[in-house]
Structure 1
């Protein structure tokens, strides 16, 4: 019996000692080797924090041209030492469907798609009846909006035998945004247009891309900016697509996909 008592008591004593040590460590009051028993201050670990919310991306859409041509003859800087006319209504199909109406409609459709995806969208013009803003203002608008991407939407007025789309960007680049990011945006939109079933331009650019040094809106941009010539409004087949709501929705879907792809990689 005596031996048995020792076997039972031993673990209890050891367990109590371990428990006391554990409580002492947990409370930060463990005695030092000198037995002072002075409390030891400890720093508690901060609880894990949820990841910071990602700020929404911002896209500036520029519906090319304006509802009315500026009749004052105003000239504005083109970003490379020259001048450009403030703005015009653009070209039109042979049946009279105006470029300014086409671009405004497509821009509204792109804006709706991007906003549904949580993107903040700013447009350079709120209606299709005014004369402005001038092209130099549009070029600077991306910076004012804090835009992650700027896309100007157009329809071309080339010889009738040419067809297809091309995406223009400022070249040679004038700042870091034009040097790399603008080209990446152009490629993303080009690829999305191809994915949407549209073909590369047969009359301008190469592989659906068109480096340009004569477009004020691109030259003055300090944010990644491109200009999409969706199609040739003077070509009968292109004009037939551009003139229908279904066709304009197809252009909007492709442009939106390109913008989203760029934002996902930026």
Structure 2
């Protein structure tokens, strides 16, 4: 069960609530009109004398009418604006839209503890040219707004304003220095056509060089499990069956962003940009809002145990 769920997108149950209110008010208004009409007819026929108490009192309000200040049906179960006060969340939007202009810089090898890897990459794109780096920034910004609305301090590793990167080791260090309570790196996959779904990448237990994940593998798994549940619920997407064991959780020890973290951290691959059906979701702004909600809710559930 989600803790402090975020309110659903507009257009959900508001229409149903209005219909119920109108159904309750129309009969009451009609009854009042009949009472007024009958009194008017009596006076017009020569009826005089002081009005009775029943003729001057207003009809009692309908029990179905909403009371002032009552929560609407679309209110969250726990909407306290400070629900995440004191929590630090780092969102790591994968890649960078400017990486493509700096091929030499992002190709530089960096130490990830167990071996070396490229500083960063350009990421993938849909067949129509929608870049992963644009997708990750959009979803990250939406998730940031949701988390900040609940009091969290949200920091980005990059917001598309740097020349390139940062490198994968720097992304990990950013979360470490922020003493983040949770870090989520947002991505989209570039698998083959026909391979669909999302998955969460968890840090493997590694110890070597500058890498030691022994203290964060268990909390990172809990974070990943919360994300898996909330993302499934919010987007309706299924866990990818082309990686790992089909559970939607995939453990890897070859990613610098995970190897070098000292705080709970996971990657989420929100879908496959190279599959036409997944790409239709990833390029849709409404679906990206649901994806952001799934990420924000998963982080919230993790932070509250």
Is TM more than 0.5 here?
Answer: yes
- The Cα of 1:176 is off from its aligned counterpart by 3.7
Give CA deviations for 1:145-167 in whole Å, capped at 9, x if unaligned: 11000000000000111000000
- The Cα of 1:125 is off from its aligned counterpart by 0.4
Match in the other structure for 1:58: 88
Aligned counterparts, 1:142-221, within 5 A: 142-173=175-206, 174-196=212-234, 197-206=236-245, 207-221=247-261
Query: Which range moves more in the overlay, 143-152 or 171-180?
Result: 171-180
Contact 2:126 2:279 in 1 (8 A): yes
TM-score, length basis structure 1: 0.76
Give CA deviations for 1:212-237 in whole Å, capped at 9, x if unaligned: 01111011100000000000000111
Contact 2:93 2:159 in 1 (8 A): no
Match in the other structure for 2:120: 87
Once residues 144 and 95 of structure 2 are traced to their aligned partners in structure 1, the CA distance between those partners, rounded to angstroms, is 17
Contact 1:166 1:205 in 2 (8 A): no
Contact 2:92 2:184 in 1 (8 A): yes
- The Cα of 1:238 is off from its aligned counterpart by 0.6
Contact 1:152 1:226 in 2 (8 A): yes
Match in the other structure for 1:121: 154
Query: Which range moves more in the overlay, 172-181 or 105-114?
Result: 172-181
Unaligned runs of 5+ in 1: 1-53
Contact 1:169 1:225 in 2 (8 A): yes
Match in the other structure for 1:40: none
Partner secondary structure for residue 244 of structure 2: coil
Partner secondary structure for residue 204 of structure 1: coil
Match in the other structure for 1:4: none
Contact 1:150 1:225 in 2 (8 A): yes
Partner secondary structure for residue 296 of structure 2: helix
Match in the other structure for 1:36: none
Aligned counterparts, 1:98-109, within 5 A: 98-109=131-142
- The Cα of 1:169 is off from its aligned counterpart by 1.0
- The Cα of 1:68 is off from its aligned counterpart by 2.4
Contact 2:97 2:134 in 1 (8 A): yes
- How many residues align? The count is 212
Q: Would you say 1:235 and 2:275 are equivalent positions?
A: yes
Query: Which range moves more in the overlay, 231-240 or 175-184?
Result: 175-184
Give CA deviations for 1:181-222 in whole Å, capped at 9, x if unaligned: 111111111111121211100211231100001111011100
TM-score, length basis structure 2: 0.67
Contact 2:85 2:151 in 1 (8 A): no
Match in the other structure for 1:18: none
Find the structure with the greater CA-based Rg.
1
Unaligned runs of 5+ in 2: 1-83, 207-211
- The Cα of 1:78 is off from its aligned counterpart by 1.9
Structure 1's consecutive aligned runs of 4 or more residues displaced over 4 angstroms after TM superposition are none
Partner secondary structure for residue 180 of structure 1: helix
Partner secondary structure for residue 183 of structure 2: strand
Once residues 162 and 285 of structure 2 are traced to their aligned partners in structure 1, the CA distance between those partners, rounded to angstroms, is 20
RMSD (Å), alpha carbons: 1.6
Match in the other structure for 2:103: 71
